[in-house]
Chains A and B, each alone.
Chain A
Amino acid sequence: MAAAGGGEGEREREREMHVLAVDDSSVDRAVIARLLRNFKHRVTTVESGVRALEMLGLEPNVNMIITDYWMPEMTGFELLKRIKESKDLKKIPVVIMSSENVPTRITMCMKEGAEDFLLKPVKQSDVSRVCSRMMR
């Protein structure tokens, strides 16, 4: 009995990711956080690329970064570049979200090393797809 319970608990802990969500919109931060927590992940939200890099400097143990594209100061693309240029951070998968379906933008992000590109408004099926890919 105890062994079975422990096994299941361990499996759940293995499945749990720590996700950093970056978006300047408070509405979108609330939605993406809830979507990710629905899949039982631990979520930290920040409002800008600058804050994201600050946070990663303190806690690089993040399993996935999901970021909005259009943000003042630093775009999601610029954040992606900084992460891929960093020795400590480059292995972290980065997903970009955007409300605009611009093929050249998508290509540019994928070329720079983005894992996936989600069109906003983000739905449960989008998050499910991204999370299951990360788990593999």
Chain B
Amino acid sequence: MDVRQLQRQWIDLISALFREGFLDAQFTQLQQLQDESNPDFVVEVVTLFFEDSERLLNDLCNVLSQQVVDFNRVDAHVHQLKGSSASIGAQRVKNVCISFRNCCEERNLEGCFGCLQQVKQEYTLVKGKLEALFGLEQQIVAAGGSLPMM
């Protein structure tokens, strides 16, 4: 595929991510911090987010499956997930975390399970889309092109 087509696809994908609320202005902050001396900054930080999130989602599953649920622990994990999703601009994940924390506060176990499902879903969605975005970036760079300035 021609570089310009790839660049066009990249622009379309990232515009959709912002338009559909998957990403917010914090993601743009990260993009602005990427330059020739830090060419992989966004991928590096997002990869840390993926690692963190997978661990936290696992922990959440475990804590919620206990006979006696420790809601303070659940809340602590959700707080961390909310923080890291906010830091990379993963808006939808962050928003589910806000509802999740409310359920924790109310000691609403069913609500918590619902939120866990939702947050897993939103995480999987945004992960897939970001991986597609990074895949396009690699192709653009391999074809000798550069990423469009946002």
Chain A residues engaging chain B, CB cutoff 8 angstroms = 25-28, 30-31, 34-35, 38, 70, 72, 99, 120-121, 123-124
Q: Which residue of chain A has its CB nearest to the CB of B26? A: A121
Docked pose: A121 CA to B82 CA in angstroms? 11
Question: Which chain B residues border A30 with CB–CB below 8 Å?
Answer: 44-45, 48
Q: By the criterion CB–CB under 8 Å, are A124 and B41 in contact? A: no
Knowing A27-B48, A99-B82, say if A34 contacts B33 (CB, 8 Å). Answer: yes
Docked pose: A46 CA to B38 CA in angstroms? 21
- Tell me the smallest distance from the CB of A26 to a CB of chain B, in Å: 5
Question: Which chain B residues border A72 with CB–CB below 8 Å?
Answer: 76
Q: Is B86 an interface residue (CB 8 A)?
A: yes
Q: Which residue of chain B has its CB nearest to the CB of A24? A: B80
Docked pose: A121 CA to B24 CA in angstroms? 11
Interface string of B40-81 (1 = CB under 8 A from A): 010011001101100000000000000000000000100110
Docked pose: A124 CA to B80 CA in angstroms? 22
Interface string of B10-51 (1 = CB under 8 A from A): 000000000000000010011011000010010011001101
Q: By the criterion CB–CB under 8 Å, are A31 and B86 in contact? A: no
Q: Which of B30, B38, B49, B83 contacts A99 (CB 8 A)?
A: B83
Docked pose: A99 CA to B101 CA in angstroms? 14
Q: Which of B38, B41, B52 contacts A25 (CB 8 A)?
A: B52
Question: Which chain B residues border A99 with CB–CB below 8 Å?
Answer: 79, 82-83, 86
Q: Is B87 an interface residue (CB 8 A)?
A: yes
Chain B residues engaging chain A, CB cutoff 8 angstroms = 26, 29-30, 32-33, 38, 41, 44-45, 48-49, 51-52, 76, 79-80, 82-84, 86-89
Q: By the criterion CB–CB under 8 Å, are B84 and A34 in contact? A: no
Q: By the criterion CB–CB under 8 Å, are B48 and A26 in contact? A: yes
Question: Which chain B residues border A120 with CB–CB below 8 Å?
Answer: 83, 86-87
Docked pose: A70 CA to B72 CA in angstroms? 14
Best-buried of A38, A72, A121, A123 by chain B (most CB within 10 Å): A121
Q: By the criterion CB–CB under 8 Å, are B52 and A26 in contact? A: yes
Best-buried of A26, A27, A35, A99 by chain B (most CB within 10 Å): A27
Q: By the criterion CB–CB under 8 Å, are B88 and A70 in contact? A: no
Q: Which residue of chain B has its CB nearest to the CB of A125? A: B29
Q: By the criterion CB–CB under 8 Å, are A25 and B83 in contact? A: yes
- Tell me the smallest distance from the CB of A73 to a CB of chain B, in Å: 13
Q: By the criterion CB–CB under 8 Å, are B87 and A123 in contact? A: no
Docked pose: A30 CA to B88 CA in angstroms? 11
Docked pose: A122 CA to B13 CA in angstroms? 26
Q: Which residue of chain A has its CB nearest to the CB of B79? A: A70
Q: By the criterion CB–CB under 8 Å, are A27 and B49 in contact? A: yes
Q: Which of A25, A26, A124 contacts B29 (CB 8 A)?
A: A124
The 5 listed contacts between A and B (C-beta, < 8 Å) are A25-B87, A28-B84, A31-B87, A99-B86, A121-B89
